[in-house]
Amino acid sequence: MIAEGLELMMVGMGVVFSFLVLLVILMKLSGFLLSKFPEPEEPVKAASKAGQGGAAGSRASATMAVALAAAHRRQKGI
């Protein structure tokens, strides 16, 4: 009974190990093959029209500026 359990355990570990080795080989192969093809360049988007997303961009910029100022003050210990 214990011998059958050990045999089943070894077979299971062998299957998992084989799968992982195959997965690593396929990942390396796909990385090699995909590195041969350059990434396509994204087309440059035209400037947004007035009122379409302009406020969201300026709000994000303002939020980033506040976060950077807070981090700077914290580093200085003010």
What are 19-77's pLDDT values in tens digits? 999 999 999 999 999 888 887 788 877 655 554 555 666 888 888 999 988 888 888 87
Backbone angles phi, psi at 39, to 5 degrees: -70, 140
Residue with tokens 């089943």: 8
What are 38-50's pLDDT values in tens digits? 877 888 776 555 5
Domain boundaries, the chain: 1-35
Token representation of residue 77: 């210990």
At residue 40, the pLDDT reads 79
List, in sequence order, the alpha helices (H) in the chain.
2-35, 54-76
What whole-number distance in Å separates Cα of residue 63 and Cα of residue 71?
12
Selected residue with higher pLDDT from 14 and 47: 14
